[in-house]
Amino acid sequence: MIEETTTMNTKHHQPAGARVGIPPRQMDFRMDATKRYFYDDNATATLFFAMLSSWFPPGERFFMDSVRNFRDIVKDARLKDQVSGFMGQEAIHGREHDKLNELLEQSGIDLSFPVAAVKLGLGVLDHLPKSTQIAATTFMEHFTALLAEELLENPQFAEKADPEMIKLWQWHAFEELEHKAVAYDVYELVGNSRIERTAAAAAVVVTLVPAVFMSWAWLVAREGKATDIKDIGKGLNLLFGRQGFVTGVLPKLPLFLAKRFHPAQHDTTALEAKWAKAMFGDDGLLNKYFKNRSSLMEAAVH
Ligand SMILES: [Fe+2]
Ligand SMILES: [Fe+2]
């Protein structure tokens, strides 16, 4: 999948996605070890994020496949480049989360059940018509973009997450905002039926929401915390309480069902600009992990 990132403009060796603001940043996070409970020293909340991390590689493969099914109908040069950028970014996200997941496994967090559960859910979605699969992807990308915005905007995440661990999540969140409209713009070419979008969202909810709670409960039980009411109460509050991380996202989910929904309606450009500078500017916090920064910058000035 990483070969997607090498769709080059032969003249200046610029990856296609970089021409349209969706550059495939080759990040290489080198975390040797991670604090076992990397979110506020709380097992329940940490295991929720561990589950999310284990879901990203198979989930993002589903997203890429569903867009790839319609790549041939994209004739517009700009959208073609955006699709390349989307493919490149998602492939690299999967790779870096695979590395993190390995680390989590090494620290004793067994991710086998959540991975099996998400694969089962995605396997069901795989049986839907291809147009419904990409509609499902647009819904999941909408959810991912909302989570990403929350992660970058809500100070809770920066305060509570392990400072090393947080970098990978912030980079991923930022790029989710950069490419949030790509799958949707391809789906517009497929026909964009509101009825199909609604059905696809329902299919995602029915297949994946139970898998979320089963996976999460399994992880908590496996960690020996099933009867640790204090830890579970705190974790639930961190995520689903009044100021909770997920709570902020849920009211915005139904925006997707609006007749004239488009991901760009929810403007995040100022937030993206702020984080682009903080992470990848001259003294960017993440530049040391950003392996192709100079080549992307060089290509950009030509
Ligand atoms: Fe991603
Ligand atoms: Fe994405």
Ligand in closest contact with the CA of 89? 1
Tell me, in angstroms, the distance from the centre of ligand 2 to residue 141's CA: 5
On whether residue 255 sits in a domain, the answer given is yes
Q: Name the closest ligand to CA 145.
A: 2
Q: How many angstroms separate the alpha carbon of residue 59 from the centre of ligand 1? A: 9
Is 59 domain-assigned? Answer: yes
* Ligand 2 centroid, distance to 92 Cα (angstroms): 11
In a domain, 162, yes or no: yes
pLDDT (tens digit per residue) in 247-271: 989 999 999 999 999 999 999 999 9
Residue 176 CA to ligand 1 center (angstroms) comes to 6
pLDDT for 300: 64
How many independent structural domains does the chain possess?
1
Residue 112 domain-assigned (yes or no):
yes
pLDDT in tens, 67-84: 999 999 999 999 999 999
Residue 9 has pLDDT above 70, yes or no: no
Give the number of whichever ligand sits closest to the CA of residue 52.
1
State the distance from the centre of ligand 1 to the C-alpha of 96, rounded, in angstroms: 10
Prediction pTM value:
0.93
Which domain covers residue 113, as residue numbers? 36-278
CATH number of the domain where residue 40 is located: 1.10.620
Q: Is residue 31 part of a domain?
A: no
User: Cα of 95 to ligand 1 centre, how many Å?
Assistant: 10
CA of 45 to the centre of ligand 1 (A): 21
Could you write out the three-class secondary structure of the chain? CHHHHHCEECCCCEEHHHHHCCCCCCECCCCCCCCCCCECCCHHHHHHHHHHHHHHHHHHHHHHHHHHCCHHHCCCHHHHHHHHHHHHHHHHHHHHHHHHHHHHHHCCCCCHHHHHHHHHHHHHHCCCCHHHHHHHHHHHHHHHHHHHHHHHHCHHHHHHECCCHHHHHHHHHHHHHHCCCHHHHHHHHHCCCHHHHHHHHHHHHHHHHHHHHHHHHHHHHHCCCCCCHHHHHHHHHHHHCCCCCCCCCHHHHHHHHCCCCCHHHCCCHHHHHHHHHHHHCCCCCCHHHECCHHHHHHHHHC
Asked if residue 294 belongs to a domain, the reply is no
In a domain, 164, yes or no: yes
26: in domain: no
Q: Which ligand is nearest to the CA of 90?
A: 1
